[in-house]
Structure 1
Amino acid sequence: MTGQQLKNSILQMAVQGKLVPQDPNDEPASVLLERIRAEKEQLIKEGKIKKEKNPSVIFRGADNLPYEKVGKNEPVCIADEVPFDIPESWEWVRLGEIFQHNTGKALNSSNKSGVLLEYITTSNLYWDRFELENLRSMYFTENEIEKCQVSKGDLLVCEGGDIGRAAIWLKDYKICIQNHIHRLRSYVPLCTRFYYYVFFLYKYAGWIGGKGIGIQGLSSNALHSLLVPVPPIAEQERIVKRLEIIKPLSDKYSEASEQIQELNNLFPEHLKKSILQYAVQGKLVPQDPADEPASVLLERIRTEKEKLIKAGRIKRDKHESVIFRRDNSYYEKVDGIERCIDDELPFEIPDSWEWTTIGTTCINIQYGSSRKSESTGTMAVLRMGNIQNGRIDTQKLVYTSDKEEIAHYPLEYNDLLFNRTNSKELVGKTAIYKSEVPAIYAGYLIRITPLIDSDYLNYVMQTQFYWVYCQNVRSDAIGQSNINAEKLKNFIYPLPPLHEQKRIAKKLNSIFTKIK
């Protein structure tokens, strides 16, 4: 149960008469309503309010169901309209029968009659509080002041903005309101705080501005006709007292619930990161002494690349990084200069593994097409948005028919795509191309053809230490980060024997399926 659900549940109990016991010594709500009607009649005689043409009276029938008589019409059963049952000492009533209500003044910059006064709008009215730092002013005549001025104890309710949001004005001074706020002032002393909680429940239960009892907006007519329960005054006060005791506890529960929910939301990703870290440290699957060591794999890769260079299929990297071991330390050689990199390596790896780079173990590291794509064409063009969670998402594809582009940027099965430009949180995303459908790739992507297991390398490029590397080497422009191909090639990562790479990738795929 969320914090809001708990609060709603407690409030539901409160307004249904289930939070505190009924006291038979309490004056029944029916007597309170008679007193309100008498007060209204007196105000009508004094000319302070107008008589309603069709006043509503709600009463219990012989079948104990609620009936409503409007004006001179015959009573109608409204059992389907009331949202819940209430105790026998309570009554249902239309809100306008117990509160005098009106909205404030509409803005009119050309009207400068009266006195210049500050006023509050819906932007100043929040649940159970007001923010009054940036008040505006407009002119109010004497009659408008009488209609639009708020006194201590008035309940204010948003007609616009967050419809139904409410707070009680508890300041010792008066203030005016704009027309998107309702002022509710009880005809006789009531526990107004109880009705604040009624609005809170109705709002979050969807009964105001939503479904349920169907108040979609909150015009004066809608507010007037809103059905609310009326407990005896003494019980209203007991309910509010109990709610005030519970509120700090429910607030603390809400805070804890939100923290737990956040942990629950983050847990799968945190678990994946931990498992990935185990995987690239050689702790996820056991090493097999029968596996060919990674050092032999690297020699074979160098031999393969030399053949491709001689055949003219790839170019020699003039500034290639070569990582090697000497006396149990790792060194990097670039442009004939050697340096020890032990301090740069983030963790230890098994003896059968090696540290290496993207540039050493991959070929065809190439930027994509910069030509504009179309909604139709003969060849799909993969873009940044198609890289999702390590895989290619083909839901939103664009196309090209440019033969030169198609010939120059073809993707091959198991190619890795690297997102070189994006926000700082997303730059560096990768995905493996595993489709039989031909496609090329756009300019914000870099294509990589691994000479090792593509799945293993893709998992490496989802680890935390990879993302730390991306954040360290990215360059930032306005709203965008960038990692160029040279920085990508220089990423140092742990390389297991080829068979172990496949075992790791298979294990990770199985585990991540279960996590998902």
Structure 2
Amino acid sequence: MDTKKLRQKILDLAIRGKLVPQDPNDEPASVLLERIKAEKEQLIKDGKIKRSKKSASSDTSPYENVPFEIPENWAWCKPSDVFIINHRNNAEDTIEVGFVPMPLIKDGYHYQHSYESVLWKTVKTGYTHFTNGDFGLAKITPCFENRKSVIFNNLPNGIGAGTTELHILRPIMIDVKYVSYFYSSEEFISYGIKNFSGAVGQQRISKEVIEDFGFALPPQKEQNRIIEAVEKWFSIIDQLEQEQTDLKNAIKRAKSKILDLAIHGKLVPQDPNDEPAIDLLRRINPSFKPCDNAHYKNLPFEIPESWVWVKHNDILEISGGAQPGKSYFSSVQLPNYIRLYQIRDYGDTPIPVYIPIELASKQTRKGDILLARYGGSLGKVFIAEDGAYNVAMAKIIFRYEQPINKDYVYYYYLSDIYQNKLKEISRTAQAGFNSNDFNEMFFPLPPINEQKRVVLEIKKYSELLDNIIAEL
């Protein structure tokens, strides 16, 4: 279930008058609109606000081609008639105001947000001012597209200030929660995106775009019913999202538990007919010494009799990546160029980079195991593609091919025995690791046939759990 789309559908039904039934006893929105206009005229007469150019120009309705149909007792109106837009208070310079920067504004699906604000002792000229109960709407990309908005509450001295990144709407006799639903709807967001202006990197929607898109005004009592219905449905969706989150966390824990059972020798039964791991190692290297003699007293845990503890670096080697200077990078594959893989290439937004093959000193083949060496990806394990790999990654090299299953090694690096070691040796994410950091790390090695059975069992459970995640 796409809960984000479900929220959007509810908002779109709400602003079309299709979420709750109409009540013929409600005061029509046309009457409410006249009362709003009268209140605004009084504010203008009292000198508290200025008459907007939109209101002064004409009273003729600009909505010959309305965005959508609304119920009979609703009314289309000009936003400049029912809102004070981008108001500037005549505040004293000594008043402390809360300044709310855009990064602290949350997405606009819920009507109320918590945020921290910094205090200014001076109200700066040219900044939009707002008070408790005003509605702030992002007007820059991508914040606008992501529906970032806020209903301001708990402002210092009841007044705040925002940069040119925000449009501020102060509704008159209209519940601000309904306002937030209207301006978070797909109908309005799509209209705003079509009317972005300015440079591609910092496009904006103008005040005129907000004013030109007609406001669908319900009767006051219906506004209350809409708010109650939206909050009820959003509360149910919140529960669904929490259940999804809880299930995803449970699946993550289940995967971790499966790996833990696997490296403890408890995921599949042992077969007495399997050749013990130590016998296979000694056939390959007669001088091989396991870690189960008196010299090793701090082995991590008990393993089955047919398994053997070995030092990580006795059977596996870590080879750090390399890359030439960026002047050699190409965004297209030229003749005799090879793909240089970076950590981001294993994420959702890969950016292809190619380098001359003679400068690709560290190459990998499809199926090789790569480890993230430092940074925010430290601890992640990747399956390589054909190409070269850069300094942020290390490739696993097998000292002995015969006694170790590559998939089993991959799952070993996903398990806690490796991940906990990283936490121990990496003081910071940027510190990362080198090959000698794993001299004293242990590897629980099962018989080769049991490794294969373990891998099959892990894959079976992983596929099942991944299917559950996909269904969400």
Q: TM-score normalized by structure 2?
A: 0.69
Deviation at 1:422, TM superposition (A): 1.3
Distance change >3 Å, CA 42–CA 432, structure 1 → 2: closer
Matched residue type, 2:306: S
Distance change >3 Å, CA 123–CA 209, structure 1 → 2: farther
1:292 aligns with 275
Contact 1:116/1:137 (CA < 8 Å) preserved in 2? Answer: yes
Q: 1:44-55 alignment to 2 at 5 Å?
A: 49=51, 52-55=56-59
Distance change >3 Å, CA 280–CA 396, structure 1 → 2: farther
Contact 1:2/1:257 (CA < 8 Å) preserved in 2? Answer: no
1:313 aligns with none
1:495 aligns with 2:445: yes
1:445 aligns with 394
Deviation at 1:45, TM superposition (A): 9.4
1:123 aligns with 2:101: yes
Distance change >3 Å, CA 384–CA 39, structure 1 → 2: closer
Quick one: distance in 2 between partners of 1:470 and 1:176? Answer: 46
Quick one: distance in 2 between partners of 1:356 and 1:511? Answer: 27
1:385 aligns with 2:343: yes
2:257 aligns with 274
Give identity over the alignment, percent: 24
1:228 aligns with 2:187: no
Give the alignment's Cα RMSD to 1 decimal: 4.9
Contact 1:380/1:440 (CA < 8 Å) preserved in 2? Answer: no
Distance change >3 Å, CA 135–CA 160, structure 1 → 2: farther
1:358 aligns with 2:312: yes
1:504 aligns with 2:470: no
Matched residue type, 1:466: Y
Quick one: distance in 1 between partners of 2:457 and 2:44? Answer: 81
2:77 aligns with 93
- Which of residues 119, 124, 137 in structure 2 aligns to 1:134? 119
Distance change >3 Å, CA 489–CA 103, structure 1 → 2: same
User: C-alpha offsets along residues 416-448 of structure 1, whole Å, 9 cap, x if unaligned?
Assistant: 656483137525846578x6x8x7986963652
1:82 aligns with 2:37: no
Distance change >3 Å, CA 469–CA 123, structure 1 → 2: closer
Query: SS of 1:184's equivalent?
Result: strand
Distance change >3 Å, CA 227–CA 292, structure 1 → 2: same
Q: 1:244-255 alignment to 2 at 5 Å?
A: 247=231, 252-255=235-238
Query: SS of 2:61's equivalent?
Result: strand
Quick one: distance in 2 between partners of 1:401 and 1:199? Answer: 62
Paired positions, count: 430
- Which of residues 419, 423, 426 in structure 2 aligns to 1:467? 419
Quick one: distance in 2 between partners of 1:367 and 1:43? Answer: 73
Deviation at 1:212, TM superposition (A): 7.6
Deviation at 1:101, TM superposition (A): 4.0
Farther-moved stretch of structure 1 (7-16 vs 496-505): 7-16
Quick one: distance in 2 between partners of 1:149 and 1:432? Answer: 54
User: C-alpha offsets along residues 313-343 of structure 1, whole Å, 9 cap, x if unaligned?
Assistant: xxxxxxx96423xxxxxx35xxxxx2434xx
Farther-moved stretch of structure 1 (370-379 vs 452-461): 370-379
Contact 2:99/2:162 (CA < 8 Å) preserved in 1? Answer: yes
1:401 aligns with 2:358: yes
Contact 1:470/1:483 (CA < 8 Å) preserved in 2? Answer: no
Distance change >3 Å, CA 380–CA 285, structure 1 → 2: farther
Distance change >3 Å, CA 221–CA 133, structure 1 → 2: same
Deviation at 1:93, TM superposition (A): 1.9
Quick one: distance in 2 between partners of 1:228 and 1:425? Answer: 46
Query: SS of 1:323's equivalent?
Result: coil
Matched residue type, 1:52: A
Contact 2:98/2:119 (CA < 8 Å) preserved in 1? Answer: no
1:104 aligns with 2:88: yes
Deviation at 1:449, TM superposition (A): 2.1
1:421 aligns with 2:373: yes
Query: SS of 1:445's equivalent?
Result: strand
Which has the higher relative contact order, 1 or 2, with Cα contacts under 8 A spaced 6 or more apart?
2
1:340 aligns with 297
1:198 aligns with 2:198: no
Contact 2:261/2:267 (CA < 8 Å) preserved in 1? Answer: yes
**Where do 5+ consecutive residues of structure 2 fail to align?**
106-110, 197-203, 467-472
Deviation at 1:27, TM superposition (A): 2.9
Quick one: distance in 1 between partners of 2:320 and 2:44? Answer: 80
Contact 2:98/2:118 (CA < 8 Å) preserved in 1? Answer: no
Quick one: distance in 1 between partners of 2:443 and 2:225? Answer: 67
Q: 1:474-493 alignment to 2 at 5 Å?
A: 474-476=425-427, 479-485=430-436, 487-493=437-443
Structure with the higher strand share, 1 or 2: 1
Q: TM-score normalized by structure 1?
A: 0.64
Distance change >3 Å, CA 9–CA 478, structure 1 → 2: closer
Quick one: distance in 2 between partners of 1:271 and 1:286? Answer: 19
Deviation at 1:137, TM superposition (A): 1.5
Quick one: distance in 1 between partners of 2:211 and 2:365? Answer: 69
Quick one: distance in 1 between partners of 2:163 and 2:222? Answer: 33
Deviation at 1:293, TM superposition (A): 1.9
User: C-alpha offsets along residues 250-280 of structure 1, whole Å, 9 cap, x if unaligned?
Assistant: 5654543343333454555444333333333
Contact 2:131/2:158 (CA < 8 Å) preserved in 1? Answer: yes
Quick one: distance in 2 between partners of 1:115 and 1:446? Answer: 62
Quick one: distance in 2 between partners of 1:490 and 1:14? Answer: 63
Structure with the higher helix share, 1 or 2: 2
Distance change >3 Å, CA 102–CA 382, structure 1 → 2: closer
Quick one: distance in 1 between partners of 2:118 and 2:351? Answer: 51
Contact 2:93/2:121 (CA < 8 Å) preserved in 1? Answer: no
